[in-house]
Amino acid sequence: MNRYQAVLILLSLHCLPMHLSGVDRQGSANANAHYVGSVVCQTCHPQIYERWKKTRMANVVVDPKKHPEAILPDLAKPDPLVHFTKDDIAFVYGSKWKQRYFTKVGDDYFPEPAQWDITNQVWRPYFVKNGTDWWAGLYPPNNFSRPTGPTCDGCHSVNYDIKTKTVTEWNVGCERCHGPGSEHVTRPSQTNIANPARLDFVSANDTCIQCHSQGQPLTNPIAGKYYDWPVGFHVGQKLQNYWKLEEPKLGKTTFTHFADGTAHKNRMQGNDYVQSVMYNRGVKCSSCHDVHGTENNALLIKPANAMCLECHGPGSPNGPHTSTIQEHTHHPAGSTGNECVGCHMPEIEQTIADVNVRSHTFRFITPGMTEAYKIPNPCTTCHKEKTTDWAKQQLKAWPNVSPWRVAQ
C-alpha cells in the first residue's frame, strides 16, 4: 500500500459530507473540498503533526473519561462553589490560566458555574454577568440555559455545524487554519489547500483573528440563537463578510476596551493588533508565532526579546535609535525592564481574577495616560510601590527620548 492509498482509506473513515460550494478561498483551486480531520494530515506531515499534538491549541478541549489527568484540581476536596463531580464532566476546557468544565445535556454542552484559577490554585465562580459580554442579557441568567455551541464551540473545534451540533474534530485542528483538506489529501498540491503563509497579510491574520478577537457575526441571531463566533467563515474567505470586531469608544472605558482603545478583556489579540503599526506594515501573526508548536512561551518562534530584535535591533531604521538595548530601556541586561514586551506588551488584559495576558497594540502606554484615562501603564504595573508622577519624572529625565511623547 502506498501513502496515497493509505490517505484515501483514512479519508473514507474521517470525511464528513460538508461541501463548500462557491467558497471564495485563496490558496484552494477547488471550492468543493470538505473537512477530513487532522489525523489524515499526519500521513504526509508527520513531524508537524507530532509538534502540533503537544500544543494547547490541540488540547484545549479534553474528554476526562479518556484523559482523567486533564482535570487539574482535586475534586475530592469539598468547596462551596463546586456542586459537580468528575462523572458530570463531559469536557474540560483549558490548561494554562483557567479551567472550565462542561456538562452534556441532550446534544448540548453547558458550563458549570465554577472554574479553576490555575495560577492561584483556587476555585472561582463562572457566570457571564450582564454588561460583561454583549450577549449576556440575551440569554437567561443561568449557565444551564446558555449552551456552549453558540458561545464557545465554534472556535474550539473544526467545522462546527450549527444545525446538527456536530464537529469534524474538537480542538484547533489543521483545517481550522488551512481549510477543508479533502482535495489536498487526494492530490497534494499548493494550489488546493489554504496556507496562511501564502495568503496576503489581511487574510493570513484573519486566520487567527477569527477566534482571537471579541466581536459579533454580521447577522444575529442565527436560527434564534446569538453566536459569539464567525458562523460560516472558512479560512481564505473575507472575515469582514462574517464578523465585526468590537470597536473601542475613545475616551470611554467599555466592557472590552480601555479609553485609549487598548483591550482589557481576554481573547482580544486581534482587536489590538489591527490597530498596530506592525499590522499596517503587513506583519503576520505567523511572523512571530508558530502554532504547529515551539518550546517558547505563547508558541513564539524564538524567545520574546530575540523575536523582537530580529526587526528592531539597535540602530535599525525601525528603532530603537540607540547603540544598545539598555540605552533604550534604561534597565540592565537580563532584567524584566529590559525585555521589549515589558513596555510594549504589558500584561493588562484580564483572563481571570488578577491574571492578565499581554496587549498586542505594541504602543507604549504613558503614566500621563494612566492619570487621564485610568489605563495601566507598564512603569507602575511593574513598580507597584511607585506613583504615576514618579514614573513621569523618571521618563522626562531619560536622554535621547522625547519628554513630551513618553511622559504626557
- Residues 339-367: tens digit of each pLDDT: 999 999 999 999 999 999 999 999 999 99
pLDDT of 28: 44
**Number of Cβ atoms within 10 Å of the Cβ of 50:** 12
3-state helix/strand/coil string of the chain = CCHHHHHHHHHHHHCCCCCCCCCCCCCECCCCCCCCCHHHHCCCCHHHHHHHHCCCHHHCEECCCCCHHHCCCCCCCCCCCCCCCHHHCCEEECCCCEEEEEEEECCEEEECCEEEECCCCEEEECCCCCCCCCCHHHCCCCHHHCCHHHHHHCCCEECCECCCCECCEECCCHHHHHCCCHHHHHCCCCCECCCHHHCCHHHHHHHHHCCCCCEEECCCCECCECCCCCCCCCECECHHHCEEECCCECCECCCCECCCCCECECCCHHHHHCCCHHHHCCCCHHHCECCCCCCCHHHECCCHHHHHHCCCCCCCCCCCCCCCHHHHHCCCCCCHHHCHHHHHCCEEEEEECCEEEECCCCCCCCHHHHHHHCCCCHHHHHCCCCCHHHHHHHHHHCCCCCHHHHHC
pLDDT of 274: 98
pLDDT of 4: 40
Q: Is the pTM of this model over 0.85?
A: yes
Contact predicate 359/345, CB 8 Å: yes
The residues near 213 (Cβ < 8 Å, ≥ 6 apart) are 243, 245, 246, 267, 268, 269, 270, 271
- For the chain, list residues with pLDDT below 50: 1-29
Rounded to an integer, what is the distance from CA 362 to the centroid of its chain? 16
Distance CA 168, CA 298 (A): 26
pLDDT of 106: 96
The three three-digit cell numbers of residue 300, written as one number:
513564539
